[in-house]
Amino acid sequence: MKSWSLSELLGGLHDDIQQRLTTARKTLAHPGTKGDASEGVWLEMLQTYLPQRYRAMKGHVVDSNGDFSDQIDVLVFDRQYSPFIFQYQGQGIIPAESVYGAFEAKQSITAEQVRYAEAKLASVRKLHRTSLPIPTASGLLPPKPLHHIIGGLLTVESDWDTPLGKPLLDALKAGHANGRLDLGCVAVHGIFSCDSDGCHTASLQNKAATTFLFEFISRLQACATMPMIDVRAYAKWLVT
């Protein structure tokens, strides 16, 4: 009887993700259909393997001032403490305080796609977020500092001859701080990441999808719990 192998289990997860992304890229002719299929693969992976306190969906982010982000392919947000969310036909409207991560999903990574993803991410990070004092049995605790919203780009392949080499690093370093891509996956080749000092690194990985998933979960753990949202700041938009 064959014994269990964690390495094979994780490898199988990556192979499944890469195969489905590659199939969508090679077999679907319509760009919109191809894009929707790829987004669906990434969303399904996150919905399946992230801890249940998190949710992942496509949608927009809104703040208590009534401002909205651009449409984001993959939003990861808190569902344990978030008091509300609007969802219709697969599209979500998520309060800014609840968002932990925002990713664009594309077929291939290029300098243009890096800039595009940065602009989308900046539209999320610029939104206003509330954070109220936290009541406890010992009294009020100070408001939780706002966590950094993790942002990135998820693709199947790379258009560069050196998939994760200098052209990618140059493109990442050239971006604006508010749109900085923290973490990304090029499923066929590997992952790239950024630390708090803005130093980007890229590494070839045989199991890029699972490597990305574990690194993202680790960064989510560092964010801890979402801030205490000021629900009354949103309630002012109710029409009486």
Q: What is the distance between the alpha carbons of residues 191 and 216, in angstroms, rounded to a whole number?
A: 11
Active-site hit among 73, 78, 118, 182: 73
How far is Cα of residue 86 from the mean position of the Cα atoms in its chain?
Answer: 19
- The residues facing 110 across adjacent strands are none
| pTM of the model as a whole | 0.89
The string of pLDDT tens digits covering residues 150-168 is: 999 999 999 999 989 999 9
Of the candidates 192, 189, 28, the residue with the CA atom closest to the CA atom of residue 103? 192
pLDDT in tens, 5-46: 777 777 777 788 777 777 776 665 556 666 677 888 899 999
Do residues 189 and 204 lie in contact, with contact meaning Cβ atoms separated by under 8 Å? yes
Please indicate whether residue 16 is annotated as part of the active site.
no
The answer to whether residue 175 sits within a structural domain is: yes
Total of domains in the chain: 1
Residue 117 and residue 159: Cα distance in Å, rounded? Answer: 16
Residue 12 Ramachandran class (φ > 0 left, ψ -120 to 50 alpha, else beta): alpha
In a domain, 127, yes or no: yes
User: What residues in the chain have per-residue pLDDT under 50?
Assistant: none
Name the E strands within 44-132. Answer: 54-62, 72-78, 86-88, 91-95, 99-105, 108-109
Closest of 238, 178, 189 to residue 212, by C-alpha: 189
Catalytic position from the list 39, 78, 97, 104: 104
- Amino acid identity of residue 71, one-letter, is Q
157 is catalytic: no
Residues 151/156/157/159 CA torsion (nearest 10 deg) = -60
Does 67 fall in a domain? Answer: yes
CA distances from 160 to 100, 166, 222 (A): 30, 10, 32
**Can you give the pLDDT at residue 225?**
87
Could you tell me if residue 202 is inside a domain?
Answer: yes
Write down the pLDDT at residue 65: 95
Residue 106: inside a domain, yes or no? yes
- Of 58, 63, 106, 182, catalytic: 106
Contact status, residue 82 vs residue 226, Cβ threshold 8 Å: yes
Structural domain of 170:
6-235
DSSP character at residue 9: H
Q: Is 240 a member of any domain?
A: no
26 catalytically annotated: no
